[in-house]
Structure formats: C-alpha cells, structure tokens
Amino acid sequence: MKYIKNIEKKCVICGNKHHYQKLLENNSFGMRDLDTRPPGMMRSLMHLMVEKCPICGYANYDITKKLDNFQEGEILSQNYQKILNDKNINFALKKFMLVSLLLETRDYKKAGISYLRASWMADDSKNFNIALQMRSKAIKYLELSLKLEDNENIRLIIVDLYRRISMFDEAFDYAKYLYDNFGMEKYKKNILNYQMQLCLEKDNLDHTILGNYNFIKDNKSKGNPNEYFSK
C-alpha cells in the first residue's frame, strides 16, 4: 500500500508548479510523547506537513493558500532569508522554522505549535542549540495564546517545554500551580505528578505518556512528588 503520493501544486505567491509529497494514511500506533509528539509513521513523516516553494521560498502548511494579510516582503525579510539560506539547517527543520516565523504575527497558538514541531525536527537532526531556541519560542507564543484563550492542554505542553530546556524549577512550579489550582481531570493530574518527578530528577529527555502510567504503578521506587507540594 502506498502511504505517500506526489501531488503537483501551484505556489500561491510566485505561481511555480512543483510536486509535493502528501501523506495518504497516518499510522500512529504507540504512545505520544508528553509534548504530544505522535508515534509511528506520523513521527517520521511529520516534515511532509509543511510545503516550501523551491523558487520563492514561501512556506505554509498548504502552498496553495496565502496566509492572512500576507505581504511578499515578508519572505524577503532579513530574518526569513537568513533561515532560508542557512546551509546548516536541514530541509525538514527549515520548513517548520519558516512557517513558524510567518505565523508569529497572525496566530500565537499556531506559531507556538509550529515552533514545537520545529523543535522535534531539530531533535531528529541532533541540532540541540536550535532545538532549545525553538522550544523557547514555543513557550513564548503558547503563553501569549493563553492570554487570548485558556487551554489546559497547551498548559501541559508548556510544562514539558520548560523541562526539556532544563528550566526544572520553572517546570516544577508551573506543574504544581496547575495541579493545585486548575481542577484538572485525574489523568492530567497524573501527568503533572510525573512531570514534577522528572524535574526533581533533572531529567530533560523526551518521555511518553506510557512512562506516566509506569510511574503511577511504581511511584515508590521513584519517590512521590506529593511530599514536595508544601515547598
């Protein structure tokens, strides 16, 4: 069975026609990471989500669509061109960085999620400095999005982002604040418990939701973060 198809599409900015790969079926067997990165096929083929014109450099989740109030000068800006022409950034990471930049002034939540996805591409390419930068930007724009509309799932992602960039105190305090004040469902509180334990262990690695369930079953061997709630 073919999972990927080449589709000819026309760039909405310059009119160039190019073949782009489209994922036809999403096999996501397995457990998501704590920051929602999917498992399975989607994990390795997520780079297909963003399309970049090889002629003008415009990037979007759909190359045939123009972003709201888009001005062609945006892709000629110094910041955009710096990313576009950086030979040390691989193609998958570059696409997410470019579309994230364009989304910054349009939709804080979409920009934050795109920067989060960019961090995954940076992880895969072992570009850890850029991964840190992308997670920091994701925090910035996701926090801005919360000022417009609250979202518990975004808050849980922010906890993980702080932990992944080794801001363990911030991650722990934020997780504790959410646990104490937001009346979240039990499974979300379990995730917060797990995040706090990882912070206490100074663990900045990626972990799956499965690790949370293992923690619940065996929290005696890892310690119980509840004892730290009085700090």
Q: Give the DSSP per-residue string, 19-85.
A: EEEEE------S--BTT----HHHHHHGGGGSEE-TTT--EESSTTSPPTT--GGGGGSHHHHHHHT
- In 3D, which of 154, 163, 223 has the Cα closest to residue 195? 163
Residue 90's identity, in one-letter code, is: N
**How many Cβ atoms are within 10 Å of 73's Cβ, its own excluded?**
8
Dump pLDDT digits (tens) for 66-117: 999 999 999 999 999 999 999 999 999 999 999 999 999 999 999 999 999 9
Dump pLDDT digits (tens) for 54-66: 999 999 999 999 9
Cα separation, 67 vs 81, in Å, equals: 18
Has residue 222 got a pLDDT over 80?
no
Check if the beta carbon of residue 106 is closer than 8 Å to that of residue 189: no
Check if the beta carbon of residue 10 is closer than 8 Å to that of residue 16: yes
